[in-house]
Amino acid sequence: MAALFTMLVTVLLVLGVLLVLSPGKPKPILDEAGKPILGSISEKIRVPINGAQQGMVIKSRDPRNPVLLVLHGGMPEQFLTDRYPTGLDEDFTVVWWDQRGSGLSFDPKAAPGSVNPEQLVSDTIAVTNYLRGRFAQDKIYLMGHSGGTFIGIQAGAREPQLYHAYIAVAQMTHQIESEQLAHDYMLREFRANGDTNMARKLEAAPVTNAIPLPMGYARVRDVAMHKLGVGTIREMRSIISGVLVPSFMSREYTLAEKVGLWRGKILSGSRLWNAQLSTDLRAKITRLDVPVYFVHGTHDYTVSYPLAKAYFEQLDAPVKGFYTFAQSAHSPHMEEPAKMCEMMQTDVLTGTKRHADER
């Protein structure tokens, strides 16, 4: 009885702390004196998009700045900017949209089939048009990260007239090939450093062309990538301390929204994953009629750097630049934000490729 009482008290205390940490209000954008910038935007909203209420966090020092729509990957990532600020809101009105089925847009009553690639491409275009109207801008900038590139490149190809440029951070190509390269790399590394436990788990679950991925590999994948520093962020060696804990520490989400963040990742992410694995974007999208910028970390094995670079070479676009981030893994916009902001300022905003890798 005493043990049960202790457990109940502990649960209530943890719940109380989480509630205190979850006011759910975006932090204002402050000037150097620590005062809110007059006319700046820091808001969390939900708007009807294609028949569903969808949420987004908007950050801008000046709403007259160009609009940058960010498409997240497996889960919304705006909460990570508490620890890894991007600085993008210095020059852009940054819209961190939580896609249908994810985060602020998670709806437990939604039909399972409502989250699919075609629907998300359609939603991206609808969100784009909402932002064009709200901010009175004829075109906006579209940036995808990881799984967001799977949707973003298709939206950019379908409606290029809506966008100034498409920026791909860790561009997907044919993800099943990327997983094979990641598996083989991690197995070699764990064998070399004597981690027989991880090596044994990977040996027991080889990645072939079969979809879905082997359950044994799926269970160990994220742990292994972060342990080797080739996952979300190079310095992030644990998905628990690096992603899970920060998501529940974020003050910009309510506790219910934080739970929805992870429910959405588990449910919606799994529905999209097999489509991403099986689709070869190199064959599906061969041209974009907008400037294209690929940004990729050399240490990224979540989405293959060499596959992205090869795809970039064959992709046709009026202007295109590839940017290698040598200190980054999967999130160069958070790992090397100064370099990312410089590239956005000097090349993306001017429609040039002056600082791109030499070809």
Average pLDDT over residues 149-168: 98
Under the banding of pLDDT at 50, 70 and 90, the label for residue 244 is: very high
**pTM over cut 0.75:** yes
Contacts of 8 (CB under 8 A, 6+ apart): none
Please report the pLDDT score of residue 3 as a whole number: 57
Average pLDDT over residues 49-55: 96
pLDDT at 17: 52
> Per-residue pLDDT for 7 more than 60?
no
SS3 15: helix
pLDDT averaged over every residue in the chain = 93
> Does the pLDDT of residue 218 top 60, yes or no?
yes
Looking at residue 20, its pLDDT comes to 58
How many residues can be counted in the chain? 359
Mean pLDDT within 235-261: 93
3-state secondary structure 31-65: CCCCCECCCCEEEEEEEEECCEEEEEEEEECCCCC
What would the mean pLDDT of 255-266 be, rounded to a whole number?
91
pLDDT of res. 341: 98
% of the chain at pLDDT higher than 70: 94
What gap in Å lies between CA 276 and CA 172, rounded to an integer? 8
| Best CA proximity match to 330, nearest among 233, 239, 242 | 233
Average pLDDT estimate for 324-350: 98
On the question of pLDDT at 32 being above 90, the answer is no
Which of 30-34, 39-43, 162-166, 216-220 bottoms out in mean pLDDT, i.e. has the lowest? 30-34
Res 11: pLDDT: 43
**66: preceding bond cis by omega (within 30 degrees):** no
CA-to-CA distance for 53 and 99, rounded, in angstroms? 10
Of 286, 335, 279, 300, the closest CA to residue 170 belongs to: 300
Residue 19, pLDDT score: 58
Level-2 CATH architecture, domain 41-175+279-348: 3-Layer(aba) Sandwich (3.40)
DSSP 226: H
86, 143 Cβ separation under 8 angstroms: no
